[in-house]
Amino acid sequence: MADLPDRVKYLVIGAGVHGLSSAWHLAKEQRARGEEPDVLIVDKTGIGAGASGIACGVVRNNYFQPAMSELMAANVEVWEQDPPGFSYHPVGYVALGCGAQVDDLTAVYERQQRIGYPSELIVGADAVRSHMKEMFPDWRAQGVEVCLHEEKGGYANNMASMQGLAKKAQEAGARLVTGVTVTGFDMDDSGAVKTVQTDQGDIAVEQVVVGVGPWIASLWEMLGLSDRIDVRTPEGDVHKDQEMWTYWYLQEGEISVDPKLLSLPDGSMPPVLHVDSDAPLYDDDGKLITDELWGNYFKQDPHGVQGGAAPIIVGHEFEVDPYPTASVESSFADMWCASLSHCMERFEGKRGTYANVRSGGVGCFTAASFPIFDDMRPNVYVIADSNHGYKMIGVGREVAQVMTGGHSSVLYPFRYERFATGDLHPVSNSPYPWS
């Protein structure tokens, strides 16, 4: 039996990036106020056992949505506090797009300049090619007419970063108990949770944080919240009775090569790369893979080169136990390896090195593809990250601020109410649902 207390001030459900970060900052806040930390994290499996532990690890601020840009700047700020402790590599991020994306990336760049986020914009196929060849002399991508090069951002090693975050939470005074499954909530007449029921016993609580990634639908139901929603568009149209959740398989993989294959000419670590192109994509034998807009992302990895492509919708219901260990359709490896070769000559002939490793996983998206950060019961703060989660290590800092009586301007645009008011986030021209 797990060693659970009978009661706790703050109960945090989930030991992924959001739960660990929230617990860390709540404990820090209590200490700052002269209180003994009273924060408990419970997880039915262990640290980083779900999406956070197999995330590709990319940290970026390439978002078309103003609110996402400001939120990500706050997250990068936290990553930069302790790169070694978070196993974080601040190598930067390069987003390349086709002609249809010039306006989008220009808008992103202009916003980044307004908020003081350092980046460089290059427009025009020749100028982009020149910029990329300075980093990668064998660069040869076609169908690319704009480049947004973010000086900040980069990537982190998934499980190492979760272990580092758990260490910070525990050093701050939070307790972590694994092997505990939440089974229900006992609420009073106001809807506030009095007791959290688990398979190891009940815990009386003052406040609860739910940060369970793709398991959000089950906790949402336990809280008595509806899985259907009316969504008002910014134009005032109302779409009745929409599904609250949609599951996507995240298509990610790896080629087992010397990681230095992707190094810069001076041997240093390269930035993370994201390419959206409208040029026809062929494999190394000349077979057409697709003649429609395609996208990829890739980075140096301890075991080779890792990255992914656009996800696959799998529906409104999905069994996340056990959490999937493979998440790609059969054609993914051909497409992704062909896209690497399209970008750089060094990847030609590397299809045979593709490794079917545990990566990607399944994500649970909200009705509008962007997160919900809000009090969904009087004393229950829900983090429904819509699969933007891993990179958002600073959300916990903002949650702790809200839960201790403050306000977060970067979380406010993601309140649940926006679905009813039509205050939704704009959609970009990227093939990715979260860009």
Using pLDDT thresholds of 50, 70 and 90, give the confidence band for residue 323: confident
Identify the H or E element spanning 165: helix 158-172
Residue partners of 164: CB distance under 8 A and separation at least 6? 82, 85, 86, 87
Domains 1-92+153-239+369-435 and 93-151+246-365 share a fold: no
Nearest to 22 by CA among 10, 33, 34, 31: 10
Query: What pLDDT does 330 receive?
Result: 79
Q: Does domain 1-92+153-239+369-435 have CATH number 3.40.50.620?
A: no
Structure tokens that stand for 87 in this block? 């196993």
Give the residue, 168 or 360, on which the prediction is more confident. Answer: 168
Give the contacts of 369 (CB within 8 A, at least 6 positions apart): 386, 433, 434
CATH-assigned architecture of domain 93-151+246-365: 2-Layer Sandwich (3.30)
If you average pLDDT over residues 300-319, what whole number do you get? 90
For residues 111-120, give the mean pLDDT: 95
Alpha-carbon distance of 89 to 157, in angstroms, equals 8
CA distances from residue 182 to 29, 42, 48, 356 in whole angstroms, order as listed: 25, 8, 17, 33
Residue 312 is predicted with a pLDDT of 85
| DSSP assignment of 173-213 | T-EEEES--EEEEEE-TTS-EEEEEETTEEEEEEEEEE--G
Q: In what order do the strands lie in the sheet containing 304-309?
A: 119-123, 146-150, 93-97, 272-277, 294-301, 304-309, 252-255, 354-355
Mean pLDDT value across residues 313-318:
91
Residue range 388-414, pLDDT digits in tens: 889 999 999 999 999 999 999 999 999
Beta-sheet pairing, 7-13 with 201-210 = parallel
Q: What is the per-residue pLDDT for 328?
A: 73
For the segment 213-234, the average pLDDT, to the nearest whole number, is 96
Average pLDDT over residues 192-219: 97
In the chain, the N- to C-terminal Cα span, in Å, equals: 44
| pLDDT at 357 exceeding the cut of 80 | no
**240-299: per-residue pLDDT in tens?**
999 999 999 888 889 999 999 999 999 999 999 999 999 999 999 999 999 999 999 999
Q: Tens digit of pLDDT for each residue in 124-146?
A: 999 999 999 999 999 999 999 99
Query: What are the start-end ranges of the H helices in 223-353?
Result: 332-343
Q: At residue 359, does pLDDT exceed 80? A: no
pLDDT score at 68: 92
Q: Are 149 and 271 in contact (CB under 8 A)?
A: yes
Q: Tell me which H or E stretch contains 381.
A: strand 380-384
Inter-axis angle of helices 395-403 and 66-79, to 10 degrees? 100
Give the pTM.
0.94
For residue 327, what are its two tokens? 């998440």
Q: Give mean pLDDT, residues 354-371.
A: 85
Phi, psi dihedrals of residue 410, rounded to the nearest 5°: -85, -20
Q: Is the pLDDT of residue 309 over 90?
A: no
Residue 434 has pLDDT above 60, yes or no: no
Q: What is the mean pLDDT of the chain?
A: 94
Confidence category of residue 4, pLDDT binned at 50, 70, 90: very high
User: 234 exposed, middle or buried (CB, 10 Å; 0-12, 13-18, 19+)?
Assistant: exposed
The pLDDT value given to residue 247? 94
For residues 41 and 413, is the Cβ–Cβ distance under 8 A?
no
Per-residue pLDDT tens over the stretch 6-49: 999 999 999 999 999 999 999 999 999 999 999 999 999 999 99
Could you count the other beta carbons within 10 Å of the beta carbon of residue 331?
11
All structural domains of the chain with their residue ranges: 1-92+153-239+369-435, 93-151+246-365
